Amino acid sequence: MGQERLTGSGEDPRVTELRTAVSRLRRELAGHPAEFPDRGIAEDELAALDSMAVSGRPEVPRLRRSLLLVAGAIGSVSALAPGLREVRMAVDLFGEPPRG
């Protein structure tokens, strides 16, 4: 909760971190030469993560769902593991979703 500080540009630093990590993984995925069955799912969910980050106030449950889909889609591609780890760490900055 105390992480709502804003950067000099007025953007939440967690959002900046998420946008940076997602952008990096999208570039790595685009440059990865191997085709794999769930590549389209990974691309779609990374686009969704980016869209949520651009909105400025992403919903934690939706972030986590997209992260799980991306991880499931590219989890076996070891070359993308560092980028995936960065996205996971950026999503974790938003904390746990509220329990209902």
Question: How does pLDDT run across 47-71, given as a tens digit for each residue?
Answer: 999 999 998 778 999 999 999 999 9
Residues in the chain: 100
Residue keyed to tokens 């969704």: 48
pTM above 0.75, yes or no: yes
pLDDT at res. 67: 96
Name residues whose C-beta falls within 8 Å of residue 47's C-beta, 6 or more positions apart in sequence: 26
Reference 42, options 90, 50, 14; nearest CA is: 50
Q: Cα–Cα distance between 86 and 88 in angstroms, integer?
A: 5
First to last CA, the chain: 17
